[in-house]
Structure formats: structure tokens, C-alpha cells
């Protein structure tokens, strides 16, 4: 039981850290979004409260917390309260399955044996399948909110949002299968390892093999996150605010966290599948470790620093994709609902099938 107790403690700490990181990222992203949108639209954005308007986040948080707790009269209270909490679960579970950096190898220390510490919540054997299946549960929070609010706008918004999510999930899974075909595994860490090194003078990243797949994956990710230009569920011209019309205050904040969490998952996956994960172009983790081992006596410290270097590399890539999400939101107008469904079923789905067939045929001809 001793080993078990240790494992449980490590897991508990890891889970708490990952979840708190996700929660902490949200205000920062909201700030980036507001400043970014102001920059794009030639405005100022929040710049009065603190340096660069950064403490605006704290003011916002206080405002969210101090709002009146409110349930509409005809609402189903249980579903109404459960929906924002459920909205957090898929994003949090997916983020914990993502390998953020190379594992840290801790040397034997006294009576305690050597230990490998993964910079990852848990090693889900079939990571891709795990993340896809967990995020396919994302529709429930929306449906719960739509039904629980007892408001026709919420209901319409929820139906639209879930129909949109399921439609784009097909093209998304098909574009992911393209990646699985190339690397022959569903394990995220293995996919990252296979992207080490250099090919044709360029980093050996997935985008070299799956350029069309990347475009499809990223567009579908926008639809899965209900972000503009796909935020039909919240088309305020028609549906007030979609499925969260009746929500305000802290419960609204939880929905926000869920949405930004989905964005983070999508950015992490795009990085892992198509941009080498935590790999740095033109140098491998072993090389970095060797260099650092000559500088530091303890191999634990060297391993830790290597891990840190690659963590920063991963975060830079993810940060770029998160910025791309914000950038697109403030650049493109919203689709009409029929355009959205047409795009999903009549363009994305056939193109992703084509991409898959092309990949398989190319692999067959080139044998590998």
C-alpha cells in the first residue's frame, strides 16, 4: 500500500496543479483577448487598472463573485446549476492527458529509488482516443444549460450548438485519423517522439505530411469551441446569448473557463499533431540533456532543466495558437446557420475523407 499511497499523493498534487493552471490561464486569456481585440480594432481596451490593465482581471473576478445568485422561476434548478460545472470537466480531463514536456528522471536518493516524473497529468495509453472521447461529452453541458434554463432562446441556442458540435466532430476525427495513419499510434508522447529530427532541411513536423489535415483540424477546432466565426449558438442578433442567456455572475464565469479550456486543448493538440509538440527545431531532447549534463554535476538538475526548456518551447507554440484563436475571432464575421452546416457536411467532411484517402494512398505508394 506504501507505493499506492505515494502514487495517489503524486496524482492528487498533479491534478490540482493542472486544474489550477487551467483556471489561472483563463483571466490571462481574457485579458489577451480584450487587449488584442482593442489592438486589432484600433481601440485602447482595458488600460487603466494597473500596468497594461492587467489588474482589470482582479476587478472582473470580484465583480463576477459579487453578483446576485439567481435562478429563473421556471428553471430546473439541478440542471441549471450542474451545467456550468459539467462544462469544466471535458477540458480539465483532456488537459491532464497532454504531455507538456520530456519526463524528469529523478536519481536514487537515499533509500528512495529512482523515479520518472512525467510532465503530464496521466499517461492515457491511447491519448488521442481518450481526449476525443472526453471532449465528445462537451455537448451535455450545453444541452443541460439549454434545457435547465426554461427559456426558448437557451433551448434554440443549445440545439444549434450541439448540432454544430456533432457535425464538426466528424471532420475533426477524420483529420486526426490522418495523423494516426502517419505515425501509427494513438499515444501522444510517441507521436511527439516521432517528430524529432530534421527532414528535407525542415523540422520533421506533422505539418509536412498533413498540411490539408492541419487546416481541416484547426477549422473544426474553432467550431468545437463555439468560437467565432462559428459561434452560432450565441448569435446575439437572433438568440440573445444562446444557451447561457439566463446565466450571470459566477456560473457564467465557469462557462467561460470551459470555453477557454477547450481552446487550450485544441491549441495543445494542434501543436502536438502538426508542430512537433515540445520539440525544438534542429535539436533533440537527448542533445540538450547531454549539453546540460556537462554543465551541472547532478543529472537530476540537468533533467529538470531540459524539461523546463522543452516546456517553454511547448508553451510558446501553444500560445501562438491561442493568439490565432483570438486573432480570427476579431477578424472574420459570423456565418449564417445554413452556411455553417453546409460548410461542415458538404465541404469539411468530403475534404477530410479525401485527405485520408490521399494519405493512405501516398503511404502505400511510398511504402512508409
Residues 246-305 contacting other proteins, CB under 8 A: 246, 249-251, 254
**48 belongs to the binding site for other proteins (CB under 8 A):** no
The position carrying cell 499517461 is 123
Q: Can residue 213 be called a binding residue for other proteins (CB under 8 A)?
A: no
Name the residue nearer to other proteins (CB basis): 102 or 158: 158
C-alpha 38: how far from chain center:
24
Which residues between 169 and 208 bind other proteins (CB under 8 A)?
169-170, 173-174, 177, 180-186
Cell numbers that stand for 289 in this block = 540533456
Window 53-72: residues binding other proteins (CB under 8 A): 65-72
Q: How far is the CB of 274 from other proteins (least distance, A)?
A: 16
Q: How far is residue 298's CA from residue 281's CA, in Å, rounded to a whole number?
A: 26
List 2, 48, 51, 73, residue binding other proteins (CB under 8 A): 73
Residue 159 in contact with other proteins, rule: CB under 8 A: yes
Q: Closer to other proteins by CB, 45 or 248: give it.
A: 248
Segment near other proteins (CB under 8 A), from 29-37, 45-53, 166-174, 268-276? 166-174
Which H or E run includes 105? Answer: strand 104-106
User: Contacting other proteins (CB under 8 A), which of 29, 139, 322, 348?
Assistant: 139
Asked if 130 interacts with other proteins (CB under 8 A), we say yes
- Which of 158, 232, 288, 322 contacts other proteins by CB under 8 A? 158
- What phi and psi values does residue 52 have, to the nearest 5 degrees? 60, 20
Q: Cis peptide before 130, with omega less than 30 degrees from 0?
A: no
- Alpha carbon 52 to chain centroid distance? 26
When asked if residue 126 is in the footprint of other proteins (CB under 8 A), the reply is yes
Query: Minimum distance from CB of 265 to other proteins (Å)?
Result: 14
Using H for helix, E for strand and C for coil, what is the string for 134-181? HHCCHHHHHHHHHHHCCCHHHHHHHHHHHHHHHHHHHHHHHHHHHHHH
Contact between 155 and other proteins by CB under 8 A: the answer reads: yes
| Closest by CA position to 121, among listed 204, 239, 22, 26 | 22
CA–CA gap between residue 251 and residue 65 (Å, rounded): 9
Whether the link from the prior residue into 229 is cis, omega within 30° of 0, is yes
88 binds other proteins (CB under 8 A): yes
Using CB under 8 A as the binding rule, the residues of this chain from 307 to 366 that contact other proteins are: 337-338, 341-342, 345-346, 349-350, 353, 356-357, 360-361, 363-364
Number of residues interacting with other proteins: please give it, by CB under 8 A.
100
Q: How far is the CB of 115 from other proteins (least distance, A)?
A: 15
Interstrand relation of 104-106 and 115-117 (parallel, antiparallel or unpaired): antiparallel
Q: Confirm if 145 and 81 have CB atoms less than 8 A apart.
A: no
99/146 with CB nearer other proteins: 146
CB of 203 to other proteins, least distance (A): 21
Kindly state the smallest distance separating residue 35's Cβ from other proteins, in Å. 26
**87 vs 326, beta carbon nearer other proteins:** 87
CA distance 98 to 53: 31
Of the candidates 56, 98, 25, 2, the one whose C-alpha atom is nearest the C-alpha of residue 256 is 25
Q: Is 24 one of the binding residues for other proteins (CB under 8 A)?
A: no
| Interatomic CA distance for residues 178 and 193, integer angstroms | 17
The answer to whether residue 16 forms part of the interface with other proteins (CB under 8 A) is yes
Amino acid at each position: 500500500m506504501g507505493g499506492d499511497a505515494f502514487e495517489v499523493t503524486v496524482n492528487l498534487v498533479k491534478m490540482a496543479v493542472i486544474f489550477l493552471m487551467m483556471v489561472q490561464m483563463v483571466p490571462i486569456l481574457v485579458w489577451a483577448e480584450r487587449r488584442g481585440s482593442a489592438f486589432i480594432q484600433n481601440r485602447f481596451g482595458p488600460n487603466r487598472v494597473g500596468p497594461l490593465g492587467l489588474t482589470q482581471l482582479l476587478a472582473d473576478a470580484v465583480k463576477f463573485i459579487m453578483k446576485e445568485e439567481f435562478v429563473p422561476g421556471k428553471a430546473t434548478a439541478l440542471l441549471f446549476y450542474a451545467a456550468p460545472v459539467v462544462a469544466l470537466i471535458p477540458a480539465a480531463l483532456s488537459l491532464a492527458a497532454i504531455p507538456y514536456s520530456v519526463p524528469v528522471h529523478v536519481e536514487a536518493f537515499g533509500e528512495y529509488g529512482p523515479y520518472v516524473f512525467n510532465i503530464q497529468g496521466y499517461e492515457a495509453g491511447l491519448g488521442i482516443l481518450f481526449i476525443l472521447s472526453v471532449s465528445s461529452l462537451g455537448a451535455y453541458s450545453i444541452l443541460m444549460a439549454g434545457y435547465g434554463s426554461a427559456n426558448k432562446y437557451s433551448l434554440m441556442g443549445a440545439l444549434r450548438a450541439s448540432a454544430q458540435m456533432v457535425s464538426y466532430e466528424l471532420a475533426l476525427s477524420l483529420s486526426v485519423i490522418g495523423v494516426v495513419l502517419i505515425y501509427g499510434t494513438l499515444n501522444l508522447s510517441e507521436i511527439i517522439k516521432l517528430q524529432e529530427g530534421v527532414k528535407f532541411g525542415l523540422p520533421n513536423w506533422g505539418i509536412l505530411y498533413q498540411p490539408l489535415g492541419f487546416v481541416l483540424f484547426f477549422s473544426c477546432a474553432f467550431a468545437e469551441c463555439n468560437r467565432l466565426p462559428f459561434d452560432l449558438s450565441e448569435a446575439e442578433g437572433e438568440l440573445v446569448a444562446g444557451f447561457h442567456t439566463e446565466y450571470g455572475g459566477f456560473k457564467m464565469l465557469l462557462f467561460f473557463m470551459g470555453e477557454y479550456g477547450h481552446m487550450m486543448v485544441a491549441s495543445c493538440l494542434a501543436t502536438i499533431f502538426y508542430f512537433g509538440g515540445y520539440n525544438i527545431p534542429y535539436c533533440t531532447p537527448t542533445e540538450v540533456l547531454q549539453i546540460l549534463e556537462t554543465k551541472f554535476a547532478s543529472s537530476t538538475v540537468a533533467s529538470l532543466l531540459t524539461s523546463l526548456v522543452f516546456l517553454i518551447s511547448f508553451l510558446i507554440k501553444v500560445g501562438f495558437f491561442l493568439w490565432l484563436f483570438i486573432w480570427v475571432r476579431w477578424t472574420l464575421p459570423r456565418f449564417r446557420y445554413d452556411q455553417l452546416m453546409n460548410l461542415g457536411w458538404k465541404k469539411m467532411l468530403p475534404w477530410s475523407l479525401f485527405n485520408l484517402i490521399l494519405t493512405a494512398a501516398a503511404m502505400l505508394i511510398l511504402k512508409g
